[in-house]
């Protein structure tokens, strides 16, 4: 077989025939998932005031599952209104421990406080994913993987935060399992993709049923 008739791995992308895919996110972890899976897409951040939306959800006594779903849908809806022929994919993740929703820390002191509370404990990562087309919901799922942090003393936490730097402010749990988070986690119960912030396997199952196929670029 000649080299010209052989498909190289780099020439294959997974695409939809009739609809572009837009990720309503700027999350490095979520973007990396789709890039590594070679799914043709563009990314547009929704840039919503998520703190205000969470506060409104709390005022309405919404459950963490409903809150995560509402936030994901709000992101997708904003982008879908601008791109009605695209499949807009969005997600949101909340860390919940002892019925408290943790937000991303904005200071080192807040990050340390979060890790002190999570030390030696098991928490949930309520993770919602959604797909809209023309403002209509096509797919929606909520998963709740569990993470157990190993016992951490103040010295452990300070050294960990030194190593994390500004990345400590990117997630509510102050960790990324694919990076330095492995040093503070003792157990995971759930899909690693979902733990990183998106129910990737469930989403791919839907996209294949919708018509996504591998094609030569």
Alpha-carbon torsion angle 12, 13, 15, 21, nearest 10: -170
Extract long-range pairs of 4-8: CB within 8 Å, 24+ residues apart: 7/216
Catalytic site includes residue 92: yes
Radius of gyration of the chain (CA): 19
Question: Residue 76, Cα to own-chain centre: how many angstroms?
Answer: 13
Cα diameter, the chain: 66
Q: Which of 43, 41, 33 is nearest to 13 (CA)?
A: 41
Exactly one of 92, 99, 166, 189 is catalytic; which is it?
Answer: 92
Alpha-helical runs (H) found in the chain: 28-36, 50-59, 64-82, 108-118, 154-164, 192-195, 200-210
Q: Please tell me what DSSP assigns to residue 11.
A: G
Q: Alpha-carbon distance 111 to 29, whole Å?
A: 20
Q: Please count the other Cβ atoms lying within 10 Å of the Cβ belonging to residue 51.
A: 10
Active site residues: 92
């Amino acid at each position: 077989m000649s080299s010209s008739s052989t498909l190289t791995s780099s020439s294959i992308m997974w695409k939809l025939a009739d609809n572009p895919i837009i990720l309503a996110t700027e999350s490095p972890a979520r973007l990396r998932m789709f890039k590594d899976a070679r799914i043709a897409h563009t990314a547009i951040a929704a840039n919503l005031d998520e703190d205000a939306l969470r506060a409104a959800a709390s005022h309405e006594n919404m459950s963490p599952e409903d809150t995560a779903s509402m936030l994901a849908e709000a992101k997708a809806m904003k982008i879908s209104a601008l791109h009605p022929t695209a499949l807009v994919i969005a997600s949101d993740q909340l860390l919940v421990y002892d019925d408290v929703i943790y937000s991303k820390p904005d200071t080192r002191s807040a990050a340390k406080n979060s890790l002190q509370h999570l030390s030696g404990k098991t928490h949930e990562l309520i993770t919602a994913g959604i797909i809209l087309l023309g403002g209509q919901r096509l797919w929606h799922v909520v998963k709740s993987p569990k993470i157990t942090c190993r016992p951490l003393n103040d010295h452990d936490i300070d050294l960990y935060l030194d190593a994390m730097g500004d990345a400590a402010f990117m997630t509510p749990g102050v960790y990324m399992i694919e990076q330095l988070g492995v040093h503070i986690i003792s157990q995971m119960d759930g899909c690693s993709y979902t733990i990183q912030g998106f129910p990737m396997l469930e989403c791919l199952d839907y996209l294949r049923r919708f018509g996504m196929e591998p094609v030569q670029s």
